[in-house]
Amino acid sequence: MTYPPTFIGYRCSLCGTEYAPLDFTYTCPRDAGNLDVLLDFEAIRRQFSPSRLTASRDFSLWRYLPLLPVSDPGGEGTPLHSVGWTPLYRPPLLATHLGLSQLWVKDESANPTASFKDRASALVVARARQSGARVIVTASTGNAGAALAGMAAAISQPAVIFAPRSAPPAKIAQLLIYGAQVMLIDGNYDAAFDLSIQAAREFGWYCRNTGYNPFTAEGKKTAAFEIWEQLLLPQRLHRPLCLFVPVGDGNIISGIHKGFKDLLALGWLEQMPRIFGVQAEGSAAVAHAFLSGGEAITPVQAHTIADSISVNLPRDGVRAVRAARETGGSYLLVSDEEIRRAMTTLGQAGIFAEPAAAAAFAGLVRAREEGQILPEDPVLVLNTGSGLKDVRAAMQAVGEAPILSPSLEDVRRLLRL
């Protein structure tokens, strides 16, 4: 297996033990802690600079290849090389609605399979190709699986997806249309997760599982690099950016935190953003740990409309707690009804978000109501996935459209209501 010379190993997030790049593949053998990828920042600083990175004409996450622990996987001109560099909106309607002077939304639905999870899958596919993996497997409620299926299809890499049978049909359709082998589990995400690991061990497959494979966080950290390049470098904010992130298993928020920490270690980031995690009330294991003042993650019986963040036992919970605590952020809980209202509000600003993504905006609404966010605070909300992923939930949020006969009188009658 080959890997970039700047990738120097791993460190366990729990016990701190360090390992060489080829020692282990997934989690710490001592305590099953998540492994943080270690990079040689001094070597990176000698070879690269912010100006060199920002001059790149590669408008994808691969523009940050010098800061990643993988080599270029190839596949130029395919969806694999189109992940990232998602748009940053500044919607005035939403800012006015919340009484904020500076509000941005980073729209991850512009990724090839329409969710943030493409970032992680792109890195995992690159790592799998370097390691000579025959098959990549993952458990998913839909988005991670679709991302893996799409990225793998781009370079003809076989993929197997375990998903709960309750996953939204649109997400299952994506898995199938990309040609992955799909196995629907008569159980929840956690059951699919455990079974996928057993299958990976039994059949020698490479496991992409979120909060298990350390390269997932490395892919997700590229969103932090883009926020730095698209917003923090040109804007020169006078107050810390407040970043709102939906949280399920905890890997997105921990990956973004890792990206900002890498930029700090390189000396390229002036001020760490405050990171706010948002969880649904019915799936709040990480928030409970944060609000209790500890790090111990106690499983819950998850139930929420936001399937992408519905998790009994978050697999990256400790690092997710630290992402908020170490940056001066916090955790907020939102109800399914608040999530539905957020979907509608975002839609009226031209942004179609799935429930999990809308949860981040609902968390911002709650933070403004509680005074945790002030009018002068710069805020960025992460829209992690397209509303087309779960049309059923969208229809619950807005209701059915009226049906009329093809008569102008019926139109007049409706407009008078």
CATH number, domain of 294, equals 3.40.50.1100
Predicted confidence band of residue 94 (pLDDT cuts 50, 70, 90): very high
Decide if 188 is inside a domain: no
Q: Which residues contact 159 (CB under 8 A, 6 or more apart)?
A: 135, 136, 137, 138, 148, 149, 152, 153, 178, 180, 181
pLDDT of residue 417: 62
Domain count of the chain? 1
Q: Where in the sequence is the domain holding 93, given as residue range(s)?
A: 81-111+217-398
- For Cα atoms 298, 303, 304, give the angle at the middle one, nearest 5 degrees: 120
Find the range with the poorest average confidence among 120-124, 133-137, 251-255, 397-401.
Answer: 397-401
Q: Are 239 and 373 in contact (CB under 8 A)?
A: no
Phi, psi (rounded to 5 degrees) for 330: -165, -175
155 pLDDT higher than 80: yes
Find the range with the poorest average confidence among 15-19, 104-108, 130-134.
Answer: 130-134
**Averaged pLDDT score across all residues of the chain:** 95
Find the range with the poorest average confidence among 58-72, 87-101, 163-177, 232-246.
Answer: 163-177
Decide if 101 is inside a domain: yes
Decide if 198 is inside a domain: no
pLDDT of residue 168: 86
Decide if 252 is inside a domain: yes
Greater confidence (140 vs 226) lies with 226
Neighbours of 325 (CB within 10 A): 17
Chain centroid, CA 271 distance in Å: 22
Decide if 151 is inside a domain: no
Beta bridge partners of 145: none
Q: What's the predicted TM-score (pTM) here?
A: 0.95
Phi, psi (rounded to 5 degrees) for 65: -50, -35
Decide if 153 is inside a domain: no
192 pLDDT higher than 80: yes
Decide if 386 is inside a domain: yes
Q: Are 106 and 84 in contact (CB under 8 A)?
A: no
Sheet of 7-12, strand order: 18-19, 7-12, 35-39
pLDDT of residue 1: 64
DSSP for 45-64, written as a single string: HHH--HHHHHT----SGGGG
Decide if 100 is inside a domain: yes
180 pLDDT higher than 70: yes
User: Distances from the Cα of 182 to the Cαs of 200, 222, 270, in angstroms?
Assistant: 15, 28, 45
